[in-house]
Amino acid sequence: MKVSDGFWMTKNGYNVNYAEEVYAIDTDETSVTVYTTHQWIRNRGMTLGGPVLTIRFASTLENSIKVTISHFSGTMEHSPAFVLNEDSGFRPEITRTENGGYQLISGNTSVVIPPVHSPWGVKYLFGGKLLTKSGWRTTSVIQRENRHSSDGERFFSRSDNGGDTFIREMLGLSAGEYIYGFGEKFTPFVKNGQTCDIWNNDGGTCTEQSYKSVPFFLSSRNYGVFAAHPEMVSFEVASEHVSRTAFSVQGEKLEYFIFGGNSVADVIERYTALTGRPALPPAWSFGLWLSTSFTTDYDEDTVTSFIEGMEKRNIPLDVFHFDCFWMKEHEWCSFQWDERMFPDPKAMIQRLKSRGLRICVWINPYVGQRAPVFRELAEKGYFIRKKDGSVFQTDLWQPGMAIIDFTNPGAREWFAARIKELADMGIDAVKTDFGERIPTDVVYADGSDPYKMHNYYSYLYNKTVWDALSEAKGEACLFARSATAGCQQFPVHWGGDCFSDYSAMAETLRGGLSLTMSGFGFFSHDISGFEATGTPDLYKRWTAFGLMSTHSRYHGSSSYRVPWAFDEESCNVSRFFTDLKGRLMPYLYANAVNTHKTGVPMMRAMVVDFGSDRNTLTIDTQYMLGDSLLCAPVFSEDGECSFYLPEGGMWTDILTGEMLQGGKWYTGKYDYFSMPLYAKPCSIIVFGNFKGKADYDYTDGMKICVYGISDGASAETDVYDSHGQPAAHITANRHGKELTVTVTGTDKPFTVESPQGLDINSKCPPWV
């Protein structure tokens, strides 16, 4: 939200009152509350009017500071609000500073507050190091003077609640500091210079709109900021004031948390401790998914031909997905199979599952007017309604469609019952599509603020499906498109509708890296692009990228995505990378467990692990897949790829064994059966005895590869079973030319390799 006219003036129609003077301070055992005036108070007469901002500092989680800025404190709080894991029993330390101010300390993170009758300004520190600060002309209440009605967006949704007051905060940016996050943003990965509005929309992957908007950002200086507001939060990142990150909300209060850490990973761990950790996806979900595609023609014969085609070509397949038209046209989302194409769906599903497949189906939270259940749901009040009490309807996506009201307990129960029916039929996963363009000029059953519900709707929608599937199956896996803060608890999320070209492939990765910087642990995308049909060249390059992502799915819009539809070499490439991912499952699933435990994303930007190496701070064309494997997709027809290996030792190509020195950029040409895949120095990657399904015994016949270990150094890793339980612990120690590898927790046979050509002494103690 930009309201300035240069630095000194304000745009016409806005009145900005900044916090100027610390006029009074109150403290208790848990907080420090500061009363700031908009001007310096020289006499009693100056207290007779004008805004006073009440700013409360507290901590409800170690290494986080909670800041609440209020103008009028008597305004009503309307639902919904994010579900946060705050600890009401946590007590920060509050001390006086030498100049008479205060310091509120939470772990190693603290805020320094000036004394009474000082200029407004606070500093946020971690271990004594400055993270960021606010001060002169930063914290403010903004009032709109000459209101003009906002233009309504499509779907009767606008990101303005009709109020005239905004609270804004500005935090300083240091020289060379970079900002990341805000959810799934397909714009440049580094957000400096951008306006990031937290407002979900269905805009594809080539615009500034986002399917998944999260009011959280990370800094390369190892801090993060979460604005705890489900409604529209507008961020200006070095875009209005070039040395500040500004954020504002409409209303009389702004609440945010600031997290400090030793690394970006530490900050993500703190943020997800507050908003929720990602669940552990089932091991089978990491295998290859194949889809019917969107508007293509298909029936059981078509589906069977796809599956048999994969079997004939020895391409391992774990999941088959039925997209929208498993239901009749004009009837989404009736949850009723189209009997013209699938006369006996339950029997069909059992036939498919007898092949060892898991089954996924598409749904959305909308119901077309022609759906057999429409009238019943309307009469029961299960749809979002207009202010006059009638059902909100639109012709977008399905003629006369209405939207499920997930604030209504009966509607939630009805929707959950349909998911359980699918599960009873044999469905293992659900693709929760749509949920972004939710209207705001409507009424909810529980009286929720529709402006706040716009983004939050995605949380209620996905949680309803997740809970129902978990209850019915004992485990859950989604393939979700819309999201906001907290939705990381319901994986997996995919990147939405991308085009079929290299630029879309690159923007998909940028969106995924921004999403995982926002607390989301797992990420997928439509291999080869969704819209149009790419070339065989693109298909093969995107296949490598897709299989080296946490989750991997072939899916398109109006054409099939089976590899033989492109060329026979595409089948070979698909088989090669599916086999590679399958063999990597002991390593990958151990990292998935770590993501579930810590919140640190499994697929992540280089800055998460190597933030002390400044070369990594802006890289958005490569990523770490887990803690030890660097992946750099090839984004060009000529097969050329440039990548950076962070400093710290020798990196090893896991496909060729070639070793390269870290701290340098490299450029090479790659055929379709390769891409830069480098193990970091002093790491262990465990390969499994993959036989076609992603969920298998990861300790049986495992190959332990030790990479780049220097003399006197050691490395360790864990292996888990396909249920996420500890199965083996591996340590490696090098002394001179000898490498000793010890495995505990299993007595299964294993082998050890090291591309360094060391003498290997491996042992599995008899007491395990």
Catalytic one among 331, 428, 497, 526? 497
CB atoms within 10 A of CB 258: 25
Beta strands at 253-260 and 526-527: parallel, antiparallel or unpaired: unpaired
In the residue annotation, 695 being an active-site residue is answered as no
DSSP string, 266-321: HHHHHHHHHH-PPP---GGGGSEEEE--SSS---HHHHHHHHHHHHHTT----EEE
C-alpha span between 278 and 2 (Å, rounded): 34
Residue 85: what pLDDT? 98
CATH of 4-73+91-144+160-275 given 1.10.940.10, 3.10.520.10, 3.40.80.10, 2.60.40.1760: 2.60.40.1760
Catalytic one among 184, 269, 331, 433? 433
Of residues 684, 685, 738, 731, the one with CA closest to residue 711: 738
Rounded (10°) angle between helices 536-547 and 502-516: 20
φ, ψ at 258 (rounded to 5°):
-120, 130
Catalytic one among 436, 449, 526, 653? 436
Q: Is the dihedral of CA 368, 346, 360, 502 positive or negative?
A: negative
Beta strands at 429-432 and 358-363: parallel, antiparallel or unpaired: parallel
DSSP string, 466-515: HHHHHHHHSS--B-B--B-TTGGGS--EE----BSSHHHHHHHHHHHHHH
C-alpha span between 607 and 610 (Å, rounded): 5
Of residues 274, 276, 256, 5, the one with CA closest to residue 132: 256
**Sheet of 21-27, strands arranged across:** 21-27, 31-37, 52-58, 64-70, 253-260, 223-227, 213-219, 179-183
C-alpha span between 541 and 554 (Å, rounded): 13
Please state the pTM of the whole predicted model.
0.96
**What residues of the chain score a pLDDT lower than 70?**
146-156, 764-768
- The H or E element containing residue 424 is helix 409-425
The CA-atom distances, in angstroms, between 286 and each of 121, 224, 582, 747 are: 49, 30, 8, 26
- Whether residue 80 has a cis bond before it, omega within 30° of 0: yes
Residue 755: what pLDDT? 94
In the residue annotation, 507 being an active-site residue is answered as no
∠ Cα 240 243 244 (to 5°): 65
Residue 692: what pLDDT? 97
CATH number of 283-583: 3.20.20.80
C-alpha span between 166 and 378 (Å, rounded): 37
Residue 762: what pLDDT? 86
In the residue annotation, 613 being an active-site residue is answered as no
**Residues paired with 729 in a beta bridge:** 718, 744
**Residues paired with 624 in a beta bridge:** 604, 630
Q: Where along the chain do its domains lie?
A: 4-73+91-144+160-275, 283-583, 607-768
Residues 6+ apart with CB under 8 A from 624: 603, 604, 605, 606, 608, 609, 630, 631
∠ Cα 653 654 659 (to 5°): 30
Residue 146: what pLDDT? 62
Question: Hunting for tokens 């992540």 — which residue is that?
Answer: 604
Are the CB atoms for 524 and 261 separated by under 8 Å? no
Residue 626: what pLDDT? 98
4-73+91-144+160-275 and 283-583 agree in CATH topology: no
Residue 436: what pLDDT? 97
C-alpha span between 475 and 285 (Å, rounded): 11
Are the CB atoms for 445 and 163 separated by under 8 Å? no
Q: In the chain, what's the furthest Cα-to-Cα distance?
A: 88
CATH number of 607-768: 2.60.40.1180
Are the CB atoms for 680 and 698 separated by under 8 Å? no
C-alpha span between 710 and 656 (Å, rounded): 20
